[in-house]
């Protein structure tokens, strides 16, 4: 059996990945990483005796676990996220970290020729050019875990990318799609955390409400499928039944429909896109999916979505600027330090003032991330 490492095993995607590998007996889980929710480590070690390597964010916590489990190897911090990729000798890495923290582990996994199952879309937003270069050089392999991108990959099955007229990435529209824009200033944290159809980590849930998540998914599609940005569009499906669509040059559409269950795209990535199997997910009656109703994206209400194509057009450190500003704003909003509408205002301001670098080194991307976060705090 192939060996698996899960980065971010305590999160929403991480725990669902654990569920998939235990249900379908897919891998030997050899290594995991967690952040602050380290309570889950005992449970995972008990359930998966093959785990031999663990990274925990805080050093003092990792040290305590090392004493408790002397036969396992514990690491900590950002270095621990990289060291475990090398030492565990995993064949496959699931990157289910949130935010910029996922970038270097994605790069390291590919450099070491691993198969990378990528939920951490921020890796492509901030470092898409670096990842593209590694893949072009034949380093590693990449499979997406995002439901929309797995849907697109399924629609492209046996098709040529040159035959694609449009990729339509579906969006639920989030909790505020029907809310008057004048009411946005009154949005509370608990309102923004109510995603209509998916249960996810807090950061992506807020990004889904502002449409920054959809902006990032446009960038993700650009890098994953090598299609020009003028062929990628968002489309609203309020019920999240259609996970995305592809329109081909001959007028044919393909769309992928199914329950809002992340275990399906996780399974797809973990089996490297092989759909010819009998493993079954929940049975859903066909009439659950009737009455498709697509709506246009409202760009005026959700202007952050425009940053998707902007990041692709500018490249350089623009993805890092926008991602860092967004991450900090989302965390400050979740901590009740700024209002919902400030998220957009602060990001716009940072994009205006922070120096753009056309051909940054990886160190400059890291520096950008660091400086933009500080700048957000100065502005607040
Ligand atoms: N959830 C979904 O349905 C979904 C769907 C599509 C794509 N995605 C993408 O998948 C990624 C993960 O999302 P999620 O919803 O699973 O997030 P989540 O529930 O917040 O989990 C994130 C994981 O990353 C860990 N982590 C975060 N920052 C870290 C750091 N600095 N150092 C070490 N570990 C860190 C967390 O540790 P602790 O929690 O222990 O602190 C947790 O294990 C995101 O990029 C998201 O956009 C998610």
* Residue 98 Cβ < 6 Å to ligand 1: yes
* Residue 205 Cβ < 6 Å to ligand 1: no
Query: Which atom, in ligand 1's list, is nearest to the CA of 16?
Result: 16
Segment 44-66 shows an average pLDDT of 98
Beta pairing partners, 179: none
| Burial class of 228 by CB neighbour count within 10 A (0 to 12, 13 to 18, 19+) | exposed
**Of residues 94, 21, 81, the one with CA closest to residue 53:** 81
Residue 291 has pLDDT above 90, yes or no: no
Nearest protein Cα to ligand 1, atom 15: 201
> Angle at Cα 243 formed by Cα 120 and Cα 2, nearest 5°?
50
Choose which residue among 61, 120, 204 to substitute to test ligand 1 binding: the one with the highest number of ligand atoms within 8 A of its C-beta: 204
Q: What are the DSSP calls for 265-321, one per residue? A: HHHHHHTTT------------GGGG-S--EE---TTT-GGGHHHHHHHHH-TTHHHH
Choose which residue among 7, 8, 152 to substitute to test ligand 1 binding: the one with the highest number of ligand atoms within 8 A of its C-beta: 8
- Whole-number Å distance, alpha carbon 11 to ligand 1 midpoint, is 5
Q: Domain 3-144's class? A: alpha beta
Question: Quick one: pLDDT at residue 56?
Answer: 98
Query: Which atom, in ligand 1's list, is nearest to the CA of 101?
Result: 31
Residue 197 has pLDDT above 90, yes or no: no
**Residue-wise pLDDT tens digits, 316-345:** 999 999 999 999 999 999 999 999 999 999
**Residue 12, CA atoms < 13 Å, CB-side half-sphere:** 15
**Residue-wise pLDDT tens digits, 223-275:** 999 999 999 999 999 999 999 999 999 999 999 998 889 999 999 999 998 76
Residue 129 has pLDDT above 70, yes or no: yes
E-strand ranges in 109-203 read 115-118, 141-144, 164-171
Length of the chain: 380
**Residue-wise pLDDT tens digits, 79-118:** 999 999 999 999 999 999 999 999 999 999 999 999 999 9
> In this prediction, what percent of the chain has a pLDDT beyond 70?
99
**Residue-wise pLDDT tens digits, 163-195:** 999 999 999 999 999 999 999 999 999 999 998
Question: Quick one: pLDDT at residue 28?
Answer: 97
Residue 306 has pLDDT above 70, yes or no: yes
Q: Has domain 316-380 been given CATH number 3.40.50.300?
A: no
Segment 308-313 shows an average pLDDT of 98
Query: Which atom, in ligand 1's list, is nearest to the CA of 199?
Result: 3
Question: Quick one: pLDDT at residue 277?
Answer: 61
Give yes or no for a contact between 257 and 178, defined as CB atoms under 8 angstroms apart. Answer: no
Segment 267-293 shows an average pLDDT of 78
**Sorting pLDDT into bands at 50, 70 and 90, what band is 283?**
confident
* Residue 217 Cβ < 6 Å to ligand 1: no
- Whole-number Å distance, alpha carbon 379 to ligand 1 midpoint, is 26
Residue 161's CB is within 10 A of a number of other CB atoms, namely: 12
- Whole-number Å distance, alpha carbon 208 to ligand 1 midpoint, is 14
Choose which residue among 9, 12, 127 to substitute to test ligand 1 binding: the one with the highest number of ligand atoms within 8 A of its C-beta: 12
Question: Quick one: pLDDT at residue 278?
Answer: 65
Give yes or no for a contact between 52 and 298, defined as CB atoms under 8 angstroms apart. Answer: no
How far apart CA 42 and CA 283 sit, in angstroms, is 33
**Of residues 349, 368, 344, the one with CA closest to residue 357:** 368
Segment 218-224 shows an average pLDDT of 98
Could you state, in order of their start, the residue ranges of all structural domains in the chain?
3-144, 149-311, 316-380
Question: Quick one: pLDDT at residue 275?
Answer: 65
As a whole number, the mean pLDDT across the chain is 95
């Amino acid at each position: 059996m192939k060996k698996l490492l899960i980065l971010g095993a305590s999160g929403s995607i991480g725990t669902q990945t654990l569920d998939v590998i235990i249900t379908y007996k897919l891998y030997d889980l050899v290594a995991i990483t967690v952040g602050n929710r380290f309570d889950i480590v005992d449970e995972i070690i008990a359930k998966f005796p093959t785990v031999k390597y663990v990274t925990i964010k805080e050093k003092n916590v990792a040290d305590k676990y090392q004493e408790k489990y002397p036969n396992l190897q514990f690491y900590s911090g950002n270095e621990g996220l990289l060291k475990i990729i090398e030492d565990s000798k995993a064949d496959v890495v699931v990157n289910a970290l949130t935010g910029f923290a996922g970038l270097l582990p994605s790069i390291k996994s590919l450099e070491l020729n691993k198969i990378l199952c990528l939920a951490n879309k921020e890796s492509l937003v901030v470092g898409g050019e670096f990842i593209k270069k590694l893949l072009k050089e034949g380093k590693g392999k990449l499979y997406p875990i995002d439901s929309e991108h797995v849907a697109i990959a399924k629609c492209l099955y046996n098709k040529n990318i040159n035959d694609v007229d449009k990729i339509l990435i579906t969006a639920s529209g989030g909790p505020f799609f029907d809310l008057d824009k004048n009411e946005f200033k009154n949005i509370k944290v608990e309102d923004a955390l109510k995603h209509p159809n998916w249960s996810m980590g807090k950061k992506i849930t807020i990004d889904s409400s502002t449409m920054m998540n959809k902006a990032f998914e446009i960038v993700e599609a650009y890098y994953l499928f090598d299609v020009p940005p003028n062929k990628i569009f968002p489309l609203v499906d309020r019920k999240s039944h259609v996970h995305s669509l592809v329109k081909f040059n001959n007028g044919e559409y393909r769309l992928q429909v199914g329950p809002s269950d992340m275990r399906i795209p996780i399974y797809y990535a973990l089996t490297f896109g092989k759909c010819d199997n009998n493993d079954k997910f929940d049975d859903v009656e066909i009439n659950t999916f009737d009455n498709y109703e697509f709506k246009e994206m409202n760009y005026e209400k959700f202007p952050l979505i425009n940053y998707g194509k902007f990041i692709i057009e500018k490249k350089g450190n623009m993805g890092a600027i926008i991602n860092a500003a967004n991450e900090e704003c989302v965390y400050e909003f979740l901590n009740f330090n700024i209002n919902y509408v400030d998220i957009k205002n602060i990001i716009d301001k940072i994009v205006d003032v922070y120096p753009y670098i056309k051909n940054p080194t990886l160190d400059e991307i890291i520096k950008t991330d660091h400086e933009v976060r500080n700048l957000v705090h100065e502005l607040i």
